[in-house]
Structures are given as structure tokens and as C-alpha cells.
């Protein structure tokens, strides 16, 4: 395969893809169209950054020093009875709608997710008492260390709250397999509607650029509850502020840079730590170049 035939842009601004609408340039950004192209890039490039829907990431305003692969052109999927196979770039809400047409239940919770299959499997996304781990029965991944393709079963994926084996090992999802349950199409549609309505009332929509939940829920508690009681809804910094509808969401008011978000997250983290001695864990991941100030802000939150 010739790498020159794979779609690529140089000095490409990443904020056009992120739900935060924040992010500087990467030296090269690749858009593979097939699994073979994706595997070739993973085999050939040195330590590329892999992005999908860019919905739970904060990309540095200083950019990314290296190659970036964006998987959103990898959109093949197949519905075979109750079994669904989907490539990593398939958008979660689209898949939710497609399986509803076939009378399949289990993806209703994904209707409002801005992410892709790669992201939701990686973090074992969940909402409304449903989770990826309820239906995912296997995955094809690329091992960045051995440069080989592996097929993992459900147990080998080691799903946990907001995590999977892809978090712990240098594995990149190529495609995932799910087994759903047959149910009445209208019942499924109604549940999707309720989930959409709940999301509208409890979370900012993407006209207010955000990256979803900022911090993971600590055991047996809610990050949003702790942040609200700690007074985080009053916080703003530069072009960023905590959303007044829910204290666990940070929004870009229009001109925020990554340092603004980093500062406000650090303040949120410290408010809860000081009031409750609970150290929240960021759900948003920082990607790209950090200066010393940003490094210190994130080292505090990541307990480094």
C-alpha cells in the first residue's frame, strides 16, 4: 500500500472537529477510508494520536506535535439478526437509529452521544441504566506494541466503569461486535425520545461547545452533586465557564483556549478536594502540547 494514496492534510486545524471547538494544528492529519488503510497507518506512523468524534477530549491550542489519525470515514456496519458489527468511526446516534428500525434494543442510551464506536467502547460509555458492556460481545483491535491485529472476546475487553482494556493497554479499536435484543420498534423509539428529552434538560447541547461530563463520578456519588455543593457553578476563566444547568459541564463561551479549560477544571477539582477531601478524576482527556503552566494544572488533577 502507498501511504501517499491515503487522504491527508498538513498543518491542519483540529478545532473544526472537536466538540469543544478548541484545538491547534497538527503536522499531518490522516483520514483512512478502509480498515486496511487504518492498519497500515498504525503500522507505519510513529506514535500517532487517534481521534474519533473528538467529544471527550481537550486538544491543546498549541496543537499536536506529530501525526493524527481521525477515524470518522470508517463507517461500515452490518446488522445480522441481533448481532451488529461496526467499524470504529460509526457515529453512536446513527447506530442507535439504525438498530431501532430493525426492532433491536440495547442502544437507546446512545441516541444523544456525539462520539463514535471507537470512543464509546474505549470508555465503556453508559447512560440511563444501559452501558456498552451490556451488549458488546467482542472487538477487533490493533496492538501498537506488537503491531498485530487481535480479536478479543468480552472477558478480554475487561469492561469497568468508564474504562476497558483499551484504557490499560496500547490497543486501538478497529471494529466491535454487539448482540442486542429484539423488541417492539415503537417501544424502542419512545425510550430513545425520553433519553433525548432528558439530555436536553440536563446537559448543554453542542451549540454551547463542550466535551460532555468533565469529571467521572466517584464511587457511590455524583461529580455534578459534589461540584454544585462546592460552588463550582460560579466559576469562569477566560472564555470558559461552568454551565449553569449542571456543575459537571464546562462550556466554551466562544473564544476559549485549552489553557482556559485547564484552569477551570483545576479550580473545580480543588474546590471538591478542599470541601470533601475527594479527588475527582477527569473524564476529559488532554491531547497535545502543554506548556509548563498547563502541565502543572493537569499533573495536579492526574495526581502525578
Condensed to tens digits (0 to 9), the pLDDT of residues 222-234 reads 999 999 999 999 9
Domain membership of residue 238 as a residue range: 223-301
**Are 130 and 243 members of one domain?**
no
As a whole number, mean pLDDT of residues 158-163 equals: 94
Whether residue 1 has pLDDT greater than 90: no
Is residue 118 in a domain? Answer: yes
Residue 289's pLDDT band, with cuts at 50, 70 and 90, is very high
Q: How far apart are CA 249 and CA 243, in angstroms?
A: 6
As a whole number, mean pLDDT of residues 52-78 equals: 97
Contact indicator for 95, 86 with CB cutoff of 8 Å: yes
Condensed to tens digits (0 to 9), the pLDDT of residues 95-104 reads 999 999 999 9
Residue 165's pLDDT band, with cuts at 50, 70 and 90, is very high
**Are 83 and 196 members of one domain?**
yes
For residue 199, what pLDDT is reported? 83
Kindly list the distances between the CA atom of residue 244 and the CA atoms of 141, 228, 292, in Å, as whole numbers in the listed order.
39, 10, 30
- Last residue of one domain, picked from the residues 46, 70, 94: 70
Is residue 209 in a domain? Answer: no
Whether residue 242 has pLDDT greater than 80: yes
Condensed to tens digits (0 to 9), the pLDDT of residues 111-151 reads 988 899 999 999 999 999 999 999 999 999 999 999 999 99
Contact indicator for 28, 8 with CB cutoff of 8 Å: yes
| DSSP-assigned states of every residue in 101-145 | HTTEES-GGGTT---BHHHHHHTT-EETTEEHHHHEEEEEEEETT
For residue 65, what pLDDT is reported? 95
**Are 56 and 87 members of one domain?**
no
Q: Is the pTM of this model over 0.85?
A: yes
**Are 54 and 87 members of one domain?**
no
| Domains identified in the chain, total number | 3
Condensed to tens digits (0 to 9), the pLDDT of residues 70-90 reads 999 999 999 999 999 999 999
Average pLDDT, the chain: 96
As a whole number, mean pLDDT of residues 187-202 equals: 92
Is residue 124 in a domain? Answer: yes
Is residue 148 in a domain? Answer: yes
246 bridge partner residues: none
**How much of the chain exceeds pLDDT 70, in percent?**
100
Whichever domain contains 30, its CATH number is 3.30.43.10
Residue 186's pLDDT band, with cuts at 50, 70 and 90, is very high
Cα angle 177, 137, 106 (rounded to 5 degrees) comes to 80
**Are 109 and 172 members of one domain?**
yes
Where on the phi/psi map is residue 112: left (φ > 0), alpha (ψ -120 to 50), or beta?
alpha
Residue 207's pLDDT band, with cuts at 50, 70 and 90, is confident
Residue 159's pLDDT band, with cuts at 50, 70 and 90, is very high
**Are 238 and 278 members of one domain?**
yes
Residue 206's pLDDT band, with cuts at 50, 70 and 90, is confident
Contact indicator for 115, 133 with CB cutoff of 8 Å: no
Is residue 208 in a domain? Answer: no
Q: What length does the chain have?
A: 304
**Are 175 and 283 members of one domain?**
no
**Residues taking part in catalysis:** 162, 213, 283
Is residue 287 in a domain? Answer: yes
Whichever domain contains 171, its CATH number is 3.30.465.10
Condensed to tens digits (0 to 9), the pLDDT of residues 262-279 reads 999 999 999 999 999 999
**Are 91 and 143 members of one domain?**
yes
**Are 25 and 87 members of one domain?**
no
- Last residue of one domain, picked from the residues 19, 39, 70: 70
Q: Which of 81, 25, 24, 32 is nearest to 52 (CA)?
A: 32
**Are 58 and 112 members of one domain?**
no
Is residue 41 in a domain? Answer: yes
**Are 262 and 297 members of one domain?**
yes
Whichever domain contains 271, its CATH number is 3.90.78.10
271: cell is 474546590
**Are 63 and 84 members of one domain?**
no
Q: How far apart are CA 113 and CA 290, in angstroms?
A: 28
- Last residue of one domain, picked from the residues 28, 50, 70: 70
284: cell is 476529559
Q: Which of 2, 49, 59 is nearest to 25 (CA)?
A: 59
Is residue 210 in a domain? Answer: no
Amino acid at each position: 500500500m502507498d501511504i501517499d494514496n491515503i487522504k491527508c492534510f498538513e498543518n491542519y486545524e483540529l478545532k473544526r472537529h472537536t466538540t469543544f471547538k478548541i484545538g491547534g494544528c497538527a503536522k499531518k492529519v490522516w483520514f483512512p477510508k478502509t480498515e486496511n488503510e487504518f492498519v497500515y497507518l498504525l503500522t507505519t506512523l510513529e506514535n500517532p494520536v487517534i481521534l474519533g468524534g473528538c467529544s471527550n477530549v481537550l486538544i491543546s491550542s498549541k496543537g499536536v506535535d506529530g501525526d493524527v489519525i481521525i477515524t470518522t470515514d470508517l463507517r461500515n456496519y452490518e446488522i445480522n439478526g441481533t448481532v451488529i458489527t461496526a467499524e470504529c468511526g460509526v457515529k453512536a446516534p446513527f447506530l442507535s437509529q439504525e438498530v431501532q428500525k430493525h426492532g433491536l434494543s440495547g442502544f437507546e442510551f446512545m441516541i444523544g452521544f456525539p462520539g463514535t464506536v471507537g470512543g464509546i467502547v474505549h470508555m465503556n460509555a453508559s447512560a440511563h441504566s444501559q452501558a456498552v458492556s451490556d451488549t458488546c460481545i467482542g472487538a477487533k483491535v490493533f496492538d501498537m506494541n506488537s503491531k498485530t491485529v487481535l480479536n478479543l472476546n468480552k472477558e478480554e475487553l475487561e469492561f469497568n466503569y468508564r474504562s476497558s482494556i483499551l484504557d490499560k493497554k496500547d490497543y486501538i479499536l478497529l471494529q466491535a461486535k454487539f448482540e442486542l435484543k429484539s423488541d417492539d420498534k415503537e417501544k424502542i423509539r419512545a425510550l430513545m425520545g425520553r433519553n433525548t428529552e432528558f439530555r436536553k434538560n440536563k446537559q448543554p447541547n453542542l451549540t454551547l461547545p463542550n466535551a460532555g461530563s468533565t469529571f467521572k463520578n466517584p464511587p457511590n456519588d455524583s461529580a455534578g452533586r459534589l461540584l454544585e455543593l462546592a460552588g463550582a457553578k460560579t466559576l469562569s476563566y477566560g472564555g470558559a465557564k461552568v454551565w449553569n444547568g449542571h456543575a459537571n459541564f464546562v462550556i466554551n463561551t466562544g473564544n476559549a483556549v485549552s489553557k482556559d479549560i485547564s484552569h477551570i477544571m483545576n479550580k473545580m477539582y480543588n474546590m471538591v478536594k478542599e470541601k470533601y477531601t475527594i479527588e475527582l478524576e477527569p473524564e476529559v482527556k488532554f491531547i497535545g502540547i502543554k506548556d509548563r503552566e498547563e502541565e502543572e494544572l493537569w499533573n495536579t488533577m492526574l495526581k502525578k
